[in-house]
Chain A
């Protein structure tokens, strides 16, 4: 997937101005703090810190970041799947007017699967090994629509056909271990689509798959979003996936949003040094041929607290004393030609490449 050209993907079928339609999911100032009792005192880790973004119908929002940047914790917090104890979730996540973080558990259970559905990373371990895949679809259909056994089974066959599984009537009776990795992920997608949800949260849906299958799965997901007007939150560390399907991108680092922009804008003129570094470390089809990739030095563990400085400063080529200031703000990009909605949290934004 990494070699997909950033330009040329079909634009959204929806309205040209993204801000015209109200967001389906509006995450506002989301914070997740994990607490642990260690020895006598308590230690706290802020995994997600003041994250805000909007997801609109028919559009794909990508949440990009390295391991440990808080992107998966964000998705688990939104769906109420964090462990019951040992964490504190703050902020708001308005889903069609309801705050997912404060709705009663029963209401959340009604919403999950029907209005918002998740596609997980590893389709082998996320499907129940001893239950036929058809049954894993029908139980969701029956739970949320009250359909009968036969109707639900027909729906399962139809869904498997829709996600491109050949001979669905036979496949509904098979077990996950009888399907290939790509087919399993298609089944996961079919389960997520079972009740025509308005929001799909896909948590690294392609990571466990090999490259050719990744392309198919991403293509399938984006087709479904375009056709049905579903909103999608795509969590990934793969910029190729982002380039292929996303409309908007939110880049996270150490629990905070460092840059947020429409896809074309982000790929054309990345402003945060971390985003620029990510892009420089991926091969491009439209770049000069004998190309040297530039990795970002260090590891995500070389982190300072956001309250003291820019967390990326230790790894940043432009890091200096000006970066060692607590709580940098996420501000609209002040550079020339910035698109509306391009936000960046950086003291020394990367220079804009002139084409």
Chain B
């Protein structure tokens, strides 16, 4: 029996033979390796990357200033000018270069989507950790508030907040974030509760670790997976909601702001004569949301350490 143990002299120093001190495969690196082999992830990542690129490089890609109607544009109540060498996609209903509008719309969607999702994530996680870490009456109190928030349809909540705070980009962000808070809070709390009963949490408490350490370094990291996935998915939904709010007339108050939802509203009157005015922004919204959804799903699979090796 004793022969299996290395002599005590070898303890503490890395054994000389065998592989040299090479770093172990980290979770992130493993996830990255799995992501690269997943076609779904690649499609999602390409769509998201294209969206980010367009949003960041908007001034380079667009030939014109957004929201500024071109003089003598030839927009009539029955038709808009079609594609031409100067305007690859033609003009939109208000006489602005459509490509410019779409490109700047991506930027607008990105900013509002990312900021609102970050806000929603931060607030939702704070509530979720509070409920999941303490349990008892704190949990009950927090979750009842969250239940109330959940019982209001998210769009209705967003509409009320946007109406309450007036038309500004900030109110749009807050409105969308508020609708996300209960989702994140619930998800994180449920996920933490599932982890709290696990053996390694019991083992960690048996080692005398502080409650704070147990929650922060054992319960929370294991509970984050679903939340990260949800954040990616919600980012896609947020972009749809930005469009929906401005479609309802509750978006950014400035009519010059290029925004996909507003393009849809303006295209409504011309659906018969120029359907591409609605189809193109609609496609932008759909493709972007799809990209985030695909990426989110494959991220979930890749981040699962118990998944395939």
Set of chain A residues within 8 Å of B13, measured between Cβ atoms? 161
Interface residues on A, range: 35 or more
Do A120 and B208 have beta carbons less than 8 Å apart? no
Do A131 and B218 have beta carbons less than 8 Å apart? yes
What 0/1 readout, one digit per residue, does chain A (113-130) give for beta carbons within 8 Å of chain B? 110011010100111111
B1: Cβ under 8 A from any A Cβ = yes
Q: Identify B18's interface contact among A112, A122, A167, A173, CB under 8 A.
A: A167
Set of chain B residues within 8 Å of A171, measured between Cβ atoms? 24
Total of A-B residue pairs, C-beta within 8 Å:
134
Do A120 and B203 have beta carbons less than 8 Å apart? yes
A126-B24 contact given A167-B19, A175-B305, CB 8 Å threshold: no
Do B209 and A139 have beta carbons less than 8 Å apart? yes
A276: Cβ under 8 A from any B Cβ = no
A143-B213 contact given A120-B199, A158-B12, A161-B11, CB 8 Å threshold: yes
What is the chain B residue whose CB lies nearest that of A121? B199
Measured between alpha carbons, how far is A138 from B10 in the docked complex, in Å? 21
Do A112 and B24 have beta carbons less than 8 Å apart? no
Set of chain B residues within 8 Å of A135, measured between Cβ atoms? 217
Do B217 and A81 have beta carbons less than 8 Å apart? no
Interface residues on B, range: 35 or more
Do B25 and A178 have beta carbons less than 8 Å apart? yes
Measured between alpha carbons, how far is A177 from B221 in the docked complex, in Å? 16
What 0/1 readout, one digit per residue, does chain B (211-223) give for beta carbons within 8 Å of chain A? 0010001100110
Measured between alpha carbons, how far is A102 from B15 in the docked complex, in Å? 46
B26: Cβ under 8 A from any A Cβ = yes
Do A167 and B21 have beta carbons less than 8 Å apart? yes
How far does the Cβ of B104 sit from chain A's closest Cβ, in whole Å?
40
Set of chain A residues within 8 Å of B205, measured between Cβ atoms? 81, 112
Do A79 and B221 have beta carbons less than 8 Å apart? no
What is the chain A residue whose CB lies nearest that of B195? A128
A157: Cβ under 8 A from any B Cβ = yes
What is the chain B residue whose CB lies nearest that of A140? B207
Set of chain A residues within 8 Å of B37, measured between Cβ atoms? none
B23: Cβ under 8 A from any A Cβ = yes
Measured between alpha carbons, how far is A120 from B205 in the docked complex, in Å? 12
How far does the Cβ of B8 sit from chain A's closest Cβ, in whole Å?
8
**A contact face: mostly helix, strand, loop, or mixed:** helix
What is the chain A residue whose CB lies nearest that of B23? A173
Q: Identify A129's interface contact among B10, B15, B19, B222, CB under 8 A.
A: B222
How far does the Cβ of A243 sit from chain B's closest Cβ, in whole Å?
13
A68: Cβ under 8 A from any B Cβ = no
Q: Identify A167's interface contact among B15, B203, B217, B218, CB under 8 A.
A: B15
Do A126 and B199 have beta carbons less than 8 Å apart? yes
What is the chain B residue whose CB lies nearest that of A168? B14
B76: Cβ under 8 A from any A Cβ = no
Do A113 and B207 have beta carbons less than 8 Å apart? yes
A109-B4 contact given A120-B203, A128-B200, CB 8 Å threshold: no
CB contacts under 8 Å to A, within B10-47, are: 10-15, 18-19, 21-27
A173-B24 contact given A127-B200, A129-B305, A164-B6, CB 8 Å threshold: yes
**B contact face: mostly helix, strand, loop, or mixed:** loop
What is the chain B residue whose CB lies nearest that of A154? B12
A166: Cβ under 8 A from any B Cβ = yes
Do A130 and B305 have beta carbons less than 8 Å apart? yes
Do A220 and B10 have beta carbons less than 8 Å apart? no
What is the chain B residue whose CB lies nearest that of A173? B24
Do B1 and A215 have beta carbons less than 8 Å apart? yes
Do A161 and B10 have beta carbons less than 8 Å apart? yes
How far does the Cβ of A205 sit from chain B's closest Cβ, in whole Å?
12
How far does the Cβ of A211 sit from chain B's closest Cβ, in whole Å?
12
A210: Cβ under 8 A from any B Cβ = no
What 0/1 readout, one digit per residue, does chain B (178-213) give for beta carbons within 8 Å of chain A? 000000000000000000001110111111111001
A113-B208 contact given A127-B200, A173-B23, A175-B305, CB 8 Å threshold: yes
Set of chain A residues within 8 Å of B200, measured between Cβ atoms? 125-129
Set of chain A residues within 8 Å of B15, measured between Cβ atoms? 166-167
Set of chain B residues within 8 Å of A215, measured between Cβ atoms? 1, 4
How far does the Cβ of A21 sit from chain B's closest Cβ, in whole Å?
26
Measured between alpha carbons, how far is A139 from B200 in the docked complex, in Å? 14
Measured between alpha carbons, how far is A164 from B11 in the docked complex, in Å? 7
18 further A-B contacts with Cβ under 8 Å, apart from A122-B199, A173-B23, are A79-B206, A108-B208, A112-B207, A113-B207, A120-B199, A128-B200, A131-B218, A140-B207, A143-B209, A157-B12, A161-B11, A161-B13, A164-B4, A167-B21, A173-B24, A174-B25, A177-B309, A219-B4
20 inter-chain pairs at a CB distance below 8 angstroms, sorted by A residue, are A112-B205, A113-B207, A117-B206, A125-B199, A126-B203, A127-B203, A128-B200, A128-B218, A135-B217, A140-B207, A140-B209, A161-B11, A162-B11, A164-B4, A167-B21, A169-B21, A170-B23, A175-B24, A175-B305, A223-B2
Report which B residues bind A (CB closer than 8 A).
Answer: 1-2, 4-6, 8, 10-15, 18-19, 21-27, 198-200, 202-210, 213, 217-218, 221-222, 305-306, 309
Report which A residues bind B (CB closer than 8 A).
Answer: 79, 81, 108-114, 117-118, 120, 122, 125-132, 135, 139-140, 143-144, 157-158, 161-162, 164, 166-171, 173-175, 177-178, 188, 191-192, 194, 215-216, 219-220, 223
